[in-house]
Homo-oligomer: A and B are copies of this chain.
Amino acid sequence: MIEKISTEIKSMGNFSDEDLLLFFSKFKKIQLAKGDHFLIEGQISKQIAYIESGLVMYYKISEDTKIPADFGSENDWVTYLKSFSTGLASDMNIVALEETILFALSKSSLEELFEIQPKFLAIKNYYTEISLVKIANHAGNLASLNAKDRYYKFMNEYPNIVNRVPQYYIAAYLGIKPQSLSRLRK
């Protein structure tokens, strides 16, 4: 984790080893068992975390059904920015689909970092933009591709997730009826 993030951060601009040491000093390890929640609807999202290993799913509940909004796995960051940034209650849940190890920064630690070194904001910016591009692609696929192409694209783009997530969640994420997805998989 340290090597990967350090390389990424140094590529973003003028960050020294001292900056990185300060940055990493704020992280706390979290271990989630399969089925544990990182965030539950109604709570305020107060942490942002780096996924060392494991798999999480963002979902909303609609008519007693979980509708997945996103997935995160190794080397992704996880938080729910809509709540984290505004301090408003979350309308999203985040659950571990596997045992998951995270390194988490609290909102207060992050604000402290930005206070000491405003250039740390570039790091948040960088990862926020990556999320934005990912979600914009997903929205574009949902609007413009048929079910078959959406599924193929997902398989190609997330080969490390597709066999770890129950198929009915993938179907719901892609806006495909579960029966259609099992036909496609044959």
Tell me if A's interface is mostly helix, strand, loop or mixed. helix
Interface size on A, residues (CB 8 A): 34
Q: Which A110-159 residues have C-beta < 8 A from chain B?
A: 114, 117-119, 121-122, 124-126, 128-129, 131-133, 135-136, 138-140, 142-144
Residues of B close to A174: CB separation below 8 A: 143
Number of copies: 2
Pick the contact of A140: B69, B118, B129 (CB < 8 A).
B69
Q: Quick check: B132 and A125 within 8 Å, CB to CB?
A: no
Q: Quick check: B132 and A122 within 8 Å, CB to CB?
A: no
Given A125-B124, A136-B69: A142 and B85 within 8 A (CB)? no
Q: Is A81 an interface residue (CB 8 A)?
A: yes
Residues of B close to A67: CB separation below 8 A: 140, 143-144
Pick the contact of A121: B82, B119, B138 (CB < 8 A).
B119
Q: Is A60 an interface residue (CB 8 A)?
A: yes
Q: Is A40 an interface residue (CB 8 A)?
A: no
Q: Quick check: B129 and A122 within 8 Å, CB to CB?
A: no
Interchain residue pairs A-B with the least CB separation, the first 7: A121-B121, A118-B118, A142-B142, A139-B139, A118-B119, A143-B175, A132-B132
A: which residues have CB within 8 A of B? 60, 62, 67, 69-70, 81-82, 85, 114, 117-119, 121-122, 124-126, 128-129, 131-133, 135-136, 138-140, 142-144, 172-175
